[in-house]
Amino acid sequence: MNQRNLDGNSIIIRLEMTTKDIKFGEVASVISEAGGDIIAIDVISTNQDVSVRDLTVAFTDAQDNSKIIEGVRQLKGVSIINVSDRTFLLHLGGKIEVTPKTPIQNREDLSRVYTPDVARVCSAISEEPGKAFSLTIKRNTVAVVSDGSAVLGLGNIGPRAAMPVMEGKAMLFKQFAGVDAFPICLDTQDTEEIIRTVKAISPGFGGINLEDISSPRCFEIERRLNEELDIPVFHDDQHGTAVVLYAGLINALKLVGKSIEDVKIVVCGIGAAGVACSNILLSAGASRLIGVDREGAIVRTQTYENEVWSDYAARTNPELETGSLRDVIRGADVFIGLSRGNLLTREDVQTMAEDPIVFAMANPVPEIMPALVEDIVAVMATGRSDYPNQINNVLCFPGMFRAVLDCRATEINEEMKLAAAQAIASAITDEERTRYYIIPSVFNDKVVKSMRSRVIEAAVKTGVARRIPREQAREGGES
């Protein structure tokens, strides 16, 4: 299948063709020349004079879309009746809805779910607040909270424009882990106001998933909410990325026969995700980790206005290396990119240690394109779906929240993140593992099951679980 088909950009063109003036091959040729691929043809009506057809056309970008439509419009004997963008059609009215778990068919049903009988349930919760977990949606519900300030690939587009992303995230929660999630986009980018708002809405939720909130505010928001709430708060852009990254690195290191305790790791881009990825690697035993940002290597001999960087410097770069990325990548076993596209060169990779591992995760353009170093890297991973080994947060947050909801955890700690990474990595057996397959598919149903079990075990061991499910391997939150 052509790559355009995989990218998901497509339109449906309904056109009317006068058969004496034009042949379908001419239409197909114009569409192809404009950058489109016809992937489906549906005949709506036809007679000897006129044919009406729906053409589903895949394309790469918006410019191709415009060229395709204009090219067809210029053809003699062709009239465009309608153009429908399949992605926009999918979003009409939003992508999620709320449905009742039981029908209300008579007065008795009405009295049980609402007045007067519901008052007894309210009173029970008032007397014992913990019953909210068993008697309301709190037991299986997560708030997906964003201010739209750092939407992946789009930047600060605001809360309304961020809503489709948060709806999509809610769909993934439900699809992969049976978790009910609500998108909550806040019309403020004030740190204190976000904290107050999330705290105010928290009684109805069993967990908070922070999403697409810009750095460095995201650090303070997550820290404060974790301190002041008794339910887990998880900034997925930081920790979801970190968990999946470490899962991939576990398998990559196995392939090259190296241990995390011994390898030199260079992390490029010390923002929210870079700090979280470094933290999980340090927790896993990494001892030779160096962070690099625009100003060069982060080192404890320097003074930083950014408190996060000061703390980072104190815990990394033990050999006090200085200089640019090009300087510190020499002899590195692992490169982890969380910065910007085309930052790394083939020559840089050639200076790395034998069997280099490169995780170039900038999106949509990696720090270096895989084709440039295919012959010299042992393992390559990116953040893109059109290359092998995609580092995708979807592998983490559904299973993570399935676990913490089921054990009613009060927080998500580092031990639970390490357990989640081990679970993802273990979904690939020794026999299956190759340089092109170190990360399981998001559709691998073993991932959520394994993560649920391992994360709950870690939560229990670290004392943050308020209950132990009767069956560790059971899905769906029912116990």
Give the residue numbers annotated as catalytic, written as ranges: 114, 169
Element (H, E) at 405: helix 397-406
Strands 288-293 and 296-297 come out as antiparallel
Tokens representing residue 294 in the block:
């625009």
DSSP helix/strand/coil, 15 = strand
Instruction: Work out the number of other CB atoms within 10 angstroms of the CB of residue 128.
Output: 10
Phi, psi of 85 (to 5 degrees): -85, 120
Element (H, E) at 268: strand 264-268
Tokens representing residue 136 in the block:
């309301």
Terminal alpha carbon distance of the chain: 44
Distance CA 395, CA 243 (A): 9
Q: Identify which of 236, 304, 307, 332 has the alpha carbon closest to the alpha carbon of residue 276.
A: 236
Handedness of CA 400, 204, 472, 178 (dihedral sign): negative
Tokens representing residue 303 in the block:
């003074």
Q: Identify which of 180, 159, 150, 120 has the alpha carbon closest to the alpha carbon of residue 477.
A: 180
Q: Are 467 and 407 in contact (CB under 8 A)?
A: yes
185 burial type by CB count under 10 A (0-12 exposed, 13-18 middle, 19+ buried):
buried
Tokens representing residue 91 in the block:
């979003």
Handedness of CA 359, 362, 364, 365 (dihedral sign): negative
Distance CA 36, CA 23 (A): 18
The residue behind tokens 């991939």 is 248
Q: Are 308 and 275 in contact (CB under 8 A)?
A: yes
With b meaning 16 or more CB within 10 Å and e meaning fewer, what string describes 258-271? bebeebbbbbbbbb
